[in-house]
Structures are given as C-alpha cells and as structure tokens.
Amino acid sequence: MTANKKVTSPQVASKASDILRDKNSSATAKSLAASALSQVQRSHQTGKDMEAQASAVLKSDKYSAESKAIAASLVSQSNKAR
C-alpha cells in the first residue's frame, strides 16, 4: 500500500487556524481544524475516525463552508485503500 503524500494547503491551514481561535466554533469544527493543522508540513494520513467525522461534515447541511473545506482536505489526505 502506498502512503498518501498530500499535506494541508496554506489556505486550508489559515482557515483551520481561524476556527481554532474562534470561541464560537463547534467542537467538531475545532477537531477537524486541529487534524488539518497537524498535517501541514508532514505527510500524515487522516485516521479512520477523523475520516468518518470529516465525511459526516461533508454530508451535513449544518456546517459552514470553512468546516467543509477543511473536512474535504482531510478526506483527500486519508488512506486511499479505505
């Protein structure tokens, strides 16, 4: 199995940083943001649980466009075999 070499883009990292600093951001948004920031300079893959959470965010109408952008980035950095 080949490793996923993708990293979080500077644009997504900036959005993630904003979410983490916003006291009104949901716990889910902050969790996604923290995961995205952990993958900025390293080619870590998104874990199975975080991938499931990001997928749920993408399917929901409840989350902001920023949260969905971060979720999409995380899904793109997940293990392709899953």
> What pLDDT digit, counting tens, does each position of 24-33 carry?
999 999 999 9
Q: Is residue 45 included in any domain, yes or no?
A: yes
Containing structural domain, residue 51: 10-76
Q: Is residue 49 included in any domain, yes or no?
A: yes
Three-state DSSP class for residue 26: coil
Please name which of 51, 23, 24 lies closest in space to residue 35, comparing C-alpha atoms.
Answer: 51
Q: Is residue 47 included in any domain, yes or no?
A: yes
Q: Is residue 4 included in any domain, yes or no?
A: no
34-76 per-position pLDDT tens digit:
999 999 987 778 889 999 999 999 999 999 999 999 999 999 9
Question: What domain count does the chain have?
Answer: 1
Q: Is residue 21 included in any domain, yes or no?
A: yes
Q: Is residue 81 included in any domain, yes or no?
A: no
**The model's pTM:** 0.86
46 forms beta bridges with: 78
Q: Is residue 5 included in any domain, yes or no?
A: no
Instruction: Decide if pLDDT at 23 tops 90.
Output: yes
